[in-house]
Amino acid sequence: MTRDGCACVEQSVPSLFLLAMPPRLLCHIDMNSYFASVEQQANPHLRGRPVGVCAYLHRYGCVIAASVEAKQQGMKVGMSMEEARTRVPSAVFVQNEPSKYRATTAKILRIFRELTPTVEVYSIDEAFLDLTGWCRDEAEAAFLVTRVKHRIATEVGEWLRCSAGIAPTRFLAKFASDRQKPNGLVILNHQNLDECLARAELEDACGIGPRIRRRLERLKIYSLLDLKQAPVGNLMRSFGKYGFYLWAKVNGIECERLQDGEPVPKTIGHSYCVPMSVHREKKVAAVLARLTERAGRRLRRHGLFAGAIVVTVGLRDQGTYRTECLRFCEPVADPWSLGDAASRTLHVCWKGEPVDFLAVTLVDLSRPTAQTRLPLIPTIASGLRTTDRLPALGRSLDVIRDKYGEQSVVFGRMLPLLDGDDHAADRIGFRKVELDTVAEVSDRGDAEIAWFPI
């Protein structure tokens, strides 16, 4: 078959595929400048001003969200506070407050879940809603989304705005919601898809970064419409399976279902950009212990065990990172095993140099099995470790902390942090938000003011 013939056959595939499938209605809702908007909602004197929400209020602290006004003046997410202040001298910077954003997200998700039970929380500020079966057509879906926007404004906060995209697939719904910001609503269907793709850059699509773009350009594919019309066989020869996914996504073929439950995490970790004072005050090991303990708490909350622990240290003077991994002889979850392992791993990769970054990641996660490796020579010490005593003691500690707070029980290695400083405090994650943390407030009975109208 000629190359043209091959292309012709391949082009007929999506239309046949789509005819065979029942039409789906997916909606992607993305909150605009979310953290900054929540801060402006809480403090009306920040409204209309350029606001940057920072990880830390330090000149090297990273801007994790910028308000619409700040973005218009050139502030970008990822800039250091110093750089953002140079770019926008009138900007106001505030420290991020994770509990505020999580509680607000919980209220917004509750509105979404009244529309459809199939809601995938993609990150703390965006979600996919499967409206298939709940709306007859895109117009009805658009009406529903407009009502959602109104409810968010009246029931959560009038300063909160969102962009929405309605399309037959997840990818196209997300692509559509990115087309019009802020406060947009875009419907993508097979009638206007080509027109919309032709206007978009390759990197506008989720999953295409600079490297993939360069590789696509080498294949003479310069726009998303070119990608849609490219022969899928050629793409698969260049990119393998990923080539098919790229082609399928822009052709409106669904490759992944909505995950309306909480996915099991593959890794659990915490990191911290270490200020110089931590090194001066010899608190590096204590900060790592706190990071490990927080990762351990999340591990146990998920009912998982870790097969290995990875510690990363950023060296301030050399500008490099050192990473060490320690594999456990059997998966563990108790705080003692995790803490000891983190401490030992730290001292393998760190010899007392000034550090500017610390991270601990629990990997190779697994569900508990009934199998237990017994010690060959049973001693009291080893008996303590291999029987259920340490895990049971760890669970008891978790119960105490759940009841009396995280600081009610601390390990000796964390004592240097007890003087009131907030090193390695709670931080917000952008992707794959854990539903239990979002629902932390909502699921334990705050219904009495959950619908607090403004």
Provide the binding-site residues for other proteins, judged by CB under 8 A: 38, 41-45, 92, 99-100, 103-104, 157, 401-406, 408, 440-441, 444, 446, 448-449, 451-454
Judged by CB, which is closer to other proteins: 143, or 451?
A: 451
Q: Which tokens belong to 95?
A: 């420290």
Separation CA 233–CA 370 (nearest Å):
47
Nearest distance, CB of residue 159 and other proteins, angstroms: 8
Judged by CB, which is closer to other proteins: 58, or 316?
A: 58
Q: Is residue 256 flagged as an active site residue?
A: no
Judged by CB, which is closer to other proteins: 103, or 144?
A: 103
Q: Which of 25, 45, 53 shows the shortest CA–CA distance to 125?
A: 53
Nearest distance, CB of residue 44 and other proteins, angstroms: 5
Are 90 and 50 spatial neighbours (Cβ–Cβ below 8 Å)?
Answer: yes
Nearest distance, CB of residue 423 and other proteins, angstroms: 18
Nearest distance, CB of residue 398 and other proteins, angstroms: 11
Judged by CB, which is closer to other proteins: 95, or 382?
A: 95
Question: What φ, ψ does residue 307 adopt, rounded to 5°?
Answer: -90, -20
The DSSP code sequence of 28-89 is EEEETTHHHHHHHHH-GGGTTS-EEEESSSSTT-BEEEE-HHHHHTT--TT-BHHHHHHH-T
Residues paired with 312 in a beta bridge? 323, 359
Nearest distance, CB of residue 149 and other proteins, angstroms: 18
Residue in 39, 69, 120, 126 annotated catalytic: 126
Measured torsion, CA atoms of residues 391, 392, 397, 400, in degrees rounded to the nearest 10: 150
Q: What's the DSSP call for residue 64?
A: E
Nearest distance, CB of residue 42 and other proteins, angstroms: 4
Judged by CB, which is closer to other proteins: 194, or 440?
A: 440
Q: Which tokens belong to 109?
A: 């998700």
Separation CA 306–CA 300 (nearest Å):
10
Judged by CB, which is closer to other proteins: 140, or 436?
A: 436
Cis peptide before 182 (omega within 30 of 0): yes
Q: How many CB atoms within 10 Å of residue 67?
A: 27
Separation CA 343–CA 348 (nearest Å):
9
Q: Which of 139, 163, 137, 135 shows the shortest CA–CA distance to 149?
A: 163
Name the residues annotated as catalytic. 126
